Structure 1
Amino acid sequence: MALLSVVVPCYNEEKALPFFYEKITQISEMLKERYQLETEYWFVDDGSRDRTLELVKELRATDSRVHYVSFSRNFGKEAGIYAGLEAARGEYVTLMDADLQDPPELLPEMFRAVTEEKYDCAATRRVDRKGEPPVRSFFARCFYRLINRISKTEIVDGARDFRLMTRQMVDAILSMSEVNRFSKGIFGWVGFRTKWIEFENVERVAGETKWSFWKLFLYSIDGIVAFSTAPLAIASVAGLFFCGLAFLALLFIFVRALAWGDPVAGWPSMVCIILLVGGIQLFSIGVLGQYLSKTYLETKRRPVYIAREKE
């Protein structure tokens, strides 16, 4: 009998966990009846400060299918995804959130896509962003348009981390042991045949989102730096452009001085030009610093996470 591993990264999800467990066990029973598919659950406690870990332990005491990994501190969702995939033992592995924004009802369709239609992965994407602040939705769409223009790795607009994968694809993802992880890009980079399943946005069943606008902004920068070198090229082109502009300006000033003398004028425009060029230089140094900092962190070879408990 095949085994499906359900990986669930959790951070302060004590309110949502009971609803999630009830729903996922119902779907698991359905999968067992239809496809003779056993299920195990891997909850990854990402240094939660509420009763998330205690609730998981209570579930473990009554259900042997429940397992958990508890971090020594908060390492972030990306580390939680990696830890869960690393712990999963099934021939098939699904990754989903505990807040039920990833509908477990899609699992039978996703499993059919992998087993009957011979896809390596069944992934999900939202077709709308109902319930999200308009500003957040606008910048999210801008991010997907931007990264797909500057990166060779396809990252689908509205893609969720919710997906069901074969063991081969999971092993390929685990082989990428980089510390600075951007899973949406990693899923696309490893390739494999993927079927996209669309669904309408679902609001959280309980609790509050842990992703502020600022955290999403920093996460988007991580994605761009991890899967595109275009910002470095842009900085280089900007430098060449302003060098050429400076040369033309010097030529213009030289010719004007020969023809009409050199009256003292234009200080405001000169200050503006200096500020503009200085800003471009600082921007370019900042772009270079982002790549350098990521390289620096990778060379330390620190672990992606540290587990305090595992069962």
Structure 2
Amino acid sequence: MKKVTLLIPVHNEEATLSMLYGRLLDLTNRHSNYEWEILFINDGSSDHTLDLIRQLRQTDKRVNYVNLSRNFGKEIAMLAGFDYTTGDCCVIMDADLQDPPELVDKMLQYWEEGYDDIYAKRRNRGDESWLRRRLSLAFYGILQKMSRIDILPNVGDFRLLDRRCVIALRHMREHERYTKGLFCWIGYNKKGIEFDRGDRLAGQSSWGFFKLLNLAIEGITSSTTSPLRIATICGMLFATTSFFYALYFLVKTILYGDQTAGFPTLIVVILFLGGVQLFSLGIIGEYVGRIFKETKGRPAYLASDYNENKLGYEE
């Protein structure tokens, strides 16, 4: 009997856990030909999320959990899930029920047909604001143009991964992670399923503007070095322009005499070039900072406790 792991990172999701578990029970009952594991990764929740998971564990031994020692972020929580999952395939989903568990039925069907990575592509983005939706689409467009791999637009973490995909992702231990890019990087046989993303049923999303901005920066710096190339090209362009501009003033001075340049123009040029330099240094600093973090050799996460069952499988 094949085993399916439902991998669910949670952070302060006490309001949705009971509804989520009910929907998951319906899913597992529809597919009794599989052995099921429901693996919660508690990412440093400050509410009663962990207590509720432990209660579920007492009544349903298919429920496993890993409690991280603090909030490491969703990207690291998914890495912890890859380390501890025991299934022949792994379905990653959020706990807020915006990603419908019923879509797993079709994912399993495609998995049995031989696909390794069955991802859910959103036809719409639920209750997101117009500005957030436009910024998200713009980010995917920029990343697609910068990266050498195909970045799937409007695709989140909701997907089914075959065991060999999970093992490949386990080997990628970088701390500054953009898992959506890693899903594309590993390749394998992919299949997309379109769906309409629902609204959040309860609780508040922890993904504010600055967290999303940080994720966007992680996505670009983790997936491509194009910003460094852009900074180099801009430097060469401005240096060349300045050289010819200096030649222009030299010839003009020789032919027509020395004339006093406009002070506002001089200030604007200095401020503009200074801004370009600081921007370029910031780009370099982003990459250097990531190198610094990786050289420390710290573990990506620490788990304070997990249930007594042996978790994880041999590679």
With structure 1 as the length reference, what TM-score do the two structures score? 0.97
Structure 2 gap ranges (5+): 308-315
Q: Which residue is 2:21 aligned to?
A: 21
Candidates 171, 196, 204, aligned match of 2:192: 196
Q: Which residue is 1:248 aligned to?
A: 244
TM-superposed deviation, 1:129: 2.2
- Give distance in 2, aligned partners of 1:289 and 1:198: 38
- Give distance in 2, aligned partners of 1:265 and 1:65: 77
Aligned sequence identity (%): 39
Instruction: For 1:1-311, list aligned pairs within 5 A.
Output: 1-32=1-32, 36-115=33-112, 117-311=113-307
Give the conservation status (yes or no) of the 8 Å contact 1:5–1:90.
Answer: yes
TM-superposed deviation, 1:206: 1.1
- Give distance in 1, aligned partners of 2:25 and 2:75: 25
Letter of the aligned partner of 2:47 in structure 1? D
- Give distance in 1, aligned partners of 2:55 and 2:188: 38
Give the conservation status (yes or no) of the 8 Å contact 1:127–1:198.
Answer: yes
TM-superposed deviation, 1:131: 1.6
With structure 2 as the length reference, what TM-score do the two structures score? 0.96
- Give distance in 2, aligned partners of 1:38 and 1:130: 32
Letter of the aligned partner of 2:282 in structure 1? G
Runs (4+) off by over 3 Å:
none
- Give distance in 1, aligned partners of 2:135 and 2:42: 29
SS at match of 2:124: coil
- Give distance in 1, aligned partners of 2:48 and 2:121: 30
- Give distance in 1, aligned partners of 2:290 and 2:298: 12
Summarize deviations over 1:9-29 as a string: whole Å, max 9, x none: 000000011100010011011
- Give distance in 2, aligned partners of 1:234 and 1:179: 25
Letter of the aligned partner of 1:305 in structure 2? Y
SS at match of 1:127: strand
- Give distance in 2, aligned partners of 1:265 and 1:221: 40
- Give distance in 2, aligned partners of 1:111 and 1:118: 10
Q: Which residue is 2:310 aligned to?
A: none
Structure 1 gap ranges (5+): none
Give the conservation status (yes or no) of the 8 Å contact 1:19–1:205.
Answer: no
